[in-house]
Amino acid sequence: MIQNRIKFGTDGWRAVIAEDFTFDNVRACAQGTADYLNQAKVSGQGLVIGYDTRFASEDFAAAAAEVIAANNIKVHLCSQTAPTPVISYLVTATKSAGGIIITASHNPRQWNGFKYKDSTGASGPTDIVAAIEKNANKALSAGSIKRLPLAEGIRKGLIEYTDPVPIYFKQIDRLIDLEPIRQSQLKVIDDSMYGAGIGYFKKLLGDSKIQIIEINGERNPLFPDIQPEPIAKNLVKLSATIKERKAGVGIANDGDADRIGIMDENGEFLNQHQVFALLMLYFLEVRKERGAVVKTLTDTKMLDLLGKQYNVPVYETPVGFKYVAPVMKEKDAMIGGEESGGYGFRGHVPERDGILAGLYFLDFMIKTRKTPSQLLAYLFSKVGPHYYDRIDAHISPDDRQKYALTLTGDGPILKLIVLGLKLADRPNNPDTTDGYKFWFEDDSWLLIRFSGTEPLVRIYAEGHSPEQVHKILESGKTILGGEL
């Protein structure tokens, strides 16, 4: 009997193509979704299905559509590749019960994935995802997966191709006035990382005074020379192009364009914490908005400091936007985000949107007449200098169990003391909400946690200088035995 072949993580189910990510398993996930919609009595609202630029994503999406249609559920099937936030917004625009997105986001090229969005366009809550996972494995085991050929589904009106782009562009126009950006004469290097965000900034900002120079702007499922995650080590070409073309800023989006990376006018990377804090400052000072901010426990202390200065509440959740989104909705938050570079905004879907985040950042530059490095200096003038880095190490299931054991008991605390790091006297130190987070006396911190989407252990650190961050990261490696 086949059981638990499919296991959803922090944001959907992801697996290596042709190994576990197969048509049979994708169809099982689709059947699990159809069964959930019927169980929840919302199948009459229909379902959106979209996909990214990875290998055969459109074919996997079509396979999922055949299963959903065979269960007599109307499918809005995207007519082209699209970013996750564009597909998420289509869910709300069509008043669908939810959405399936075929994407592995920032994972390496050999991976693909299956994300589920609820009726608000947000990542499916834990209870819904658990139901889909259970249904999918049950369908695999029982061999009870229905299929209706794509052409027949279209003929019967159960599958309808939909272009999500015009609907999304209208939403962008409601959220931000693009004309000042178009007339800014700014030179922007746009790194689409061969992903679903190809061409979006050019289409939105048009042939105006602003210059949009796109790199890695064609579909290539091999993602040559990069992993489509917008962090410094993957943006060497972006940095070089900024310097070569004397550009004012660089923007990068991950494979499904729900994350963003920013590089300044000198080709230096602004880390995700700095960008989150700057976007918060933009909403507070430029847009004059007030409201809650939602972050995860891997996010920067700078958000808390800004919250105190501007008298806005800051709420913390475990890692994963599926935890951030419900709090955003409950608190009507003006912004929510996570350390991975994904940020969501009030008035939009409660989901990360790397395209909209890039537009907001450009607007911040134009409205303040500051370069990215000057914006960062301005931020530090308010909250003090904060630096961040992380180590990602691939691990096997056996390694995971071994490392988990090293984090229990008083051993990690004693090692930190020996290394000269003084823990803060505060409740729940270490915080074990999601991993092991150690706070030090000067408000610097160390976090060790296991990824929910990849076979990785991650060590995070924030401090007041790059040297301090390096020391804290090395202490994390020492806690785990120094073998990473």
pLDDT of residue 406: 85
Task: Compute the CA torsion angle 472, 475, 479, 481 (nearest 10 deg).
Answer: 130
CATH 3.40.120.10 domain residues, the chain: 13-164, 176-383
For the stretch 303-341, pLDDT in tens is: 999 999 999 999 999 988 989 999 999 999 999 999 889
- Fold classified for 387-479: TATA-Binding Protein (3.30.310)
CA 467 to chain centre: 28
The vertex-324 CA angle with 319 and 330, nearest 5°, equals 150
Tokens of 244: 């070569």
- pLDDT exceeds cutoff 80 at 131: yes
- pLDDT exceeds cutoff 70 at 413: yes
- pLDDT exceeds cutoff 60 at 103: yes
Residues 6+ apart with CB under 8 A from 127: none
Contact in structure between 206 and 179 (CB atoms under 8 Å): no
pLDDT class for 150, splitting at 50, 70, 90? very high
**Stretch 114-132: mean pLDDT:** 95
**Stretch 124-149: mean pLDDT:** 95
pLDDT of residue 294: 98
Higher pLDDT, 197 or 208: 197
Q: Cβ–Cβ contacts within 10 Å for residue 4, how many? A: 11
- pLDDT exceeds cutoff 70 at 89: yes
Homologous superfamily, domain 176-383: Alpha-D-Glucose-1,6-Bisphosphate, subunit A, domain 3 (3.40.120.10)
- pLDDT exceeds cutoff 80 at 207: no
* Dihedral over Cα of 196, 199, 201, 204: its sign: negative
**Stretch 383-390: mean pLDDT:** 93
- Residue whose tokens read 């990360």: 352
pLDDT class for 178, splitting at 50, 70, 90? very high
Tokens of 179: 């004309």
- pLDDT exceeds cutoff 50 at 1: no
pLDDT class for 29, splitting at 50, 70, 90? very high
- pLDDT exceeds cutoff 80 at 454: no
pLDDT of residue 205: 96
pLDDT of residue 451: 83
CATH 3.30.310.50 domain residues, the chain: 387-479
Residues 6+ apart with CB under 8 A from 266: 242, 243, 373
Q: Cβ–Cβ contacts within 10 Å for residue 2, how many? A: 12
- pLDDT exceeds cutoff 50 at 160: yes
pLDDT of residue 484: 66
- pLDDT exceeds cutoff 80 at 76: yes
What is the overall mean pLDDT for the chain? Answer: 94
For the stretch 249-280, pLDDT in tens is: 999 999 999 999 999 999 999 999 999 999 99
Contact in structure between 79 and 160 (CB atoms under 8 Å): no
Residue 333 CA to residue 326 CA, distance in Å, equals: 10
**Stretch 73-98: mean pLDDT:** 98
- pLDDT exceeds cutoff 90 at 10: no
Residue 124 CA to residue 127 CA, distance in Å, equals: 8
- Fold classified for 13-164: Alpha-D-Glucose-1,6-Bisphosphate; Chain A, domain 3 (3.40.120)
pLDDT of residue 305: 97
Residues 6+ apart with CB under 8 A from 403: 395, 450, 457, 480, 481
Residue 97 CA to residue 117 CA, distance in Å, equals: 9
CA 246 to chain centre: 29
Of the ranges 57-66, 155-164, 204-213, 261-270, which one carries the lowest mean pLDDT score? Answer: 204-213
For the stretch 327-381, pLDDT in tens is: 999 999 999 999 889 999 999 999 999 999 999 999 999 999 999 999 999 999 9
**Stretch 170-192: mean pLDDT:** 97
Residues 6+ apart with CB under 8 A from 7: 13, 133
pLDDT class for 3, splitting at 50, 70, 90? very low
pLDDT class for 2, splitting at 50, 70, 90? very low
Residues 6+ apart with CB under 8 A from 56: 17, 112
- pLDDT exceeds cutoff 80 at 30: yes
